Amino acid sequence: MSKREADSIGHGSEKKLKSDKKDDIAIDSELLGQQTSYGTSEGNQDSSAASAAAAAAAAAAVAAQPASAAAAAALTSQQHQQQQQQHHQQQQQQQQLQQQLAYQNAFRQSQGGSHSPSSGMSQIQPTTLPPSSSSKPSHGSEEWHKQRRENHKEVERRRRESINLWIKELANLIPTTDTNKSQILQRAVEYIKRLKENESNNIEKWTLEKLLTDQAVSELSASNEKLKAELQKAYREAEHWRRIAEDKEK
């Protein structure tokens, strides 16, 4: 082999090595560009996914705010309704208790005047409380019959006291000095009958007086109208003669 051929072969191998290096550098640059673009796209995708997640969380928070407000309002209204119901129940219980107390006071006042009629309505008689259910005797036993008799006696006693009280009140209303109950009742019946008769007589008297008054008023009205007509006639005649006298003077 000659020297030229060796030089040409050396130059050819150098050119080939340079071209191979250029190809390797181009391939490396392409790979680096692809990796860079892939990393950039992945970063963009990650950032877009993060922004989408943040937007979804914000939307969920915004949507949850009205729901939480509505739930709070519903809870507040429910608590308010419960408070109103409790207040209404308390008022009903207080009213029932007041009615019971008023009934008991009225009953005691009606029973308290058997000893002094003038201040009987303000006195309070002690009453026997009914036995509790725990000490209630068995039905049909001797204790049960005894308790039943005592209850009947108590009821009868209260009934007699009430009758005596109102008979005494009735005796204070009618003009009588009797102390016997039957006589007081008899005088009261007679007094009421007399009052009824007087009322009937007064009604008849007032009716007759009203008729006479109406008749007198109608007669006075008629005479008044008649006098008005005569007065108007006399006034017209006087006016007529006055005009005649004025004409003659002219």
pLDDT at 10 over 90: no
Query: CB 166: neighbour CB atoms within 10 A?
Result: 13
pLDDT at 99 over 60: yes
- How far is the C-alpha of 171 from the C-alpha of 186, rounded, in Å? 11
Cα atoms in the Cβ-side hemisphere of radius 13 Å centred on 42: 6
Q: Greater confidence, 245 or 71?
A: 245
By 3-state DSSP, what share of the chain in percent is helix, strand and coil, each rounded to 5?
A: 85, 0, 15
3-state secondary structure of 124: coil
pLDDT of residue 78: 77
pLDDT of residue 183: 86
User: Rounded mean pLDDT of 107-128?
Assistant: 52
Measure Cα distances from 86 to 74, 77, 90, 219 in Å: 18, 14, 6, 73
Measure Cα distances from 131 to 94, 124, 128, 141, 146 in Å: 26, 21, 9, 16, 13
Tokens of 33: 């560009």
Measure Cα distances from 5 to 10, 13, 178 in Å: 8, 12, 177
Residue corresponding to tokens 């005894």:
146
pLDDT of residue 73: 74
- How far is the C-alpha of 182 from the C-alpha of 176, rounded, in Å? 12
Residue corresponding to tokens 């392409």:
30
Is 113 in contact with 120 (CB distance < 8 Å)?
yes
What average pLDDT does the chain have? 74
pTM score, two decimals?
A: 0.33
pLDDT at 191 over 60: yes
Write the Ramachandran bin of 139: left for phi over 0, alpha for psi from -120 to 50, otherwise beta: beta
Q: Any idea of the CA torsion for 227, 229, 230, 234, to the nearest 10 degrees?
A: 130
pLDDT of residue 115: 43
Is 103 in contact with 89 (CB distance < 8 Å)?
no
Tokens of 6: 């060796």
Total residue count of the chain as it appears in this document: 250
Percent of residues, the chain, with pLDDT higher than 70:
60
- How far is the C-alpha of 238 from the C-alpha of 243, rounded, in Å? 9
The helices-and-strands tally (H runs, E runs) of the chain is 3, 0
